[in-house]
Structure 1
């Protein structure tokens, strides 16, 4: 009986959301945070894809869609040091009056477990400082374009090449986007599901959960990579703006973006950081792993970049 009551309460909460427009101060705080949290990434040349270590051993041996590597040249850009937070994302959806698009009543079944409301409770899956899980690719892209409109800066989702270049500390041959280039798992998830406590102290330098225990730590909980970027290994997987195709032959060599879908893989965009999905076998948690996902997939987070060659003051 208690279980039934809890489910009814959950469904009731899931069907409700704060859809009132945000205040000017709330919007201003989101925009100010975006400006302050940009990390400048100096451009250069690197080989996009699994380059292997110094001994020639591949980092991601079971995948074929990230080989052979391709030499790429990128202009400098700036990237948000953390994934977009749930709190900022909800303010955006309220500002553009699309909260109600993602409710149970309007057919968005994901709202049963993650209703579009922001919480101040660190235990809540809706805790405002946890990374956002966008309901689809389009809203992730829309968020970055909204930042561009409001700030006058050329914000966008990162290209796949920008994402990997930054995760690899400007293209170095490393496996993980952590402070050390290696992973030390947060121990609080190494326990039965019923015993997982979001308030358990942070340990290690990365969150890689099992696919059965979907959990997120607040952004910035772990040390950043050498460029100052957090959670490019683990926490949540991230959308990029490229259309998915296996390999990199289709990309240009300068500032590449797969801007057109292929007929074979139509409708799929590139997702990076598979450690954020709980996958961590066969090198799939490394910064080289990639996959194509349908545009309406709802599990992934994202961060934005500013496509400007000079640092943002």
Structure 2
């Protein structure tokens, strides 16, 4: 009880500091009560309320009618949809939070080299206090698959009693576009000023290189990324909805939007070659892109076992969360 009262009296930043103290070096053991309370506190304090409304989902083009994403047909034609108000995490779920969740549910040990998870060679499921490490606790999580990303949001729901989930594709794009505005990038200015970090040649990458620009769109195949909140937020107060890591949504993938309902749409599983794929947004988080694929309109389908996608959760409630 004392722990809960302490965390309730803290700012979000202070709670993260407590989380860092107790989660600096992760182990396969279950996290402490303090660590879990800090994760839950952060998940509630870092929510941004998004007032609902109508908008055209998909590539609407700029004021002159020029498409933002001309080389893809998967986001055309736009569809008029309405989303109810919701709250969304202002940052991607961090690596430290994700590891604490996996430890709490007893699955951190499932994603090891010994258990056949080969991706652990590049990114083992541990968290640490080293800013130069891909496992630094404040860098965005890269989930080993879709299910664990969804499971973390459901875990938050179970622990807090709030209706956390992965965002629908419509919620994600509505928030990234500052409530549906016709913008290209979810940055502070609506334009991209590239950080020099992770640019080629990759052998010269220095994890301690100072932050520059307003977005990370890298040109090398790296598991590296910037800590969440490294760049200025969008006008809505959201970070890294362009760049850093790509993000899962809860929609099943279909080409285009004709299948969606007009109110609070969430795509159901298709009976096609895409039947095992979920929608991933923010393709700028995958790396170097051309032809508009780094814009907030770009989308693709990834298999459920696809690793290295990031994510953030929403709370499906029509009023702000205190």
Q: CA deviation at 1:191?
A: 4.6
Counterpart residue number, 1:67: 76
With 135-144 and 18-27 compared, the bigger mean Cα shift is at 18-27
Q: Is the 8 A contact 1:240 1:270 kept in 2?
A: yes
Q: Is the 8 A contact 1:211 1:277 kept in 2?
A: no
Q: Deviations over 1:32-53 (max 9, x none)?
A: 0000000000000000000000
Q: 1:181 aligned to 185, 190, 205, which one?
A: 190
Q: Is the 8 A contact 1:103 1:109 kept in 2?
A: yes
1:210 aligns with 2:206: no
Q: 2:234 aligned to 212, 216, 225, which one?
A: 225
The two structures have a TM-score, normalised by structure 1, of 0.93
Q: 2:51 aligned to 42, 60, 64, which one?
A: 42
1:166 aligns with 2:175: yes
CA distance in 2, matches of 1:279, 1:126: 22
1:139 aligns with 2:139: no
Q: Is the 8 A contact 2:278 2:303 kept in 1?
A: yes
Runs in 1 of length 4+ with deviation above 2 angstroms? 188-192, 211-215, 259-264
Q: CA deviation at 1:145?
A: 0.1
CA distance in 2, matches of 1:277, 1:188: 14
Matches within 5 A, 1:284-295: 284-295=293-304
Q: 2:307 aligned to 286, 289, 298, which one?
A: 298
Counterpart residue number, 1:283: 292
Q: Is the 8 A contact 2:245 2:285 kept in 1?
A: yes
The two structures have a TM-score, normalised by structure 2, of 0.91
Q: 2:269 aligned to 260, 271, 286, which one?
A: 260
3-state DSSP class of the match of 1:144? helix
Q: CA deviation at 1:147?
A: 0.2
Aligned residues, how many?
297
Q: CA deviation at 1:116?
A: 0.6
1:107 aligns with 2:116: yes
3-state DSSP class of the match of 1:189? coil
CA distance in 1, matches of 2:134, 2:271: 36
Q: CA deviation at 1:140?
A: 0.1
Unpaired stretches in structure 2, ≥5 consecutive residues = 1-25
CA distance in 2, matches of 1:260, 1:212: 30
CA distance in 2, matches of 1:55, 1:211: 33
Unpaired stretches in structure 1, ≥5 consecutive residues = 1-16
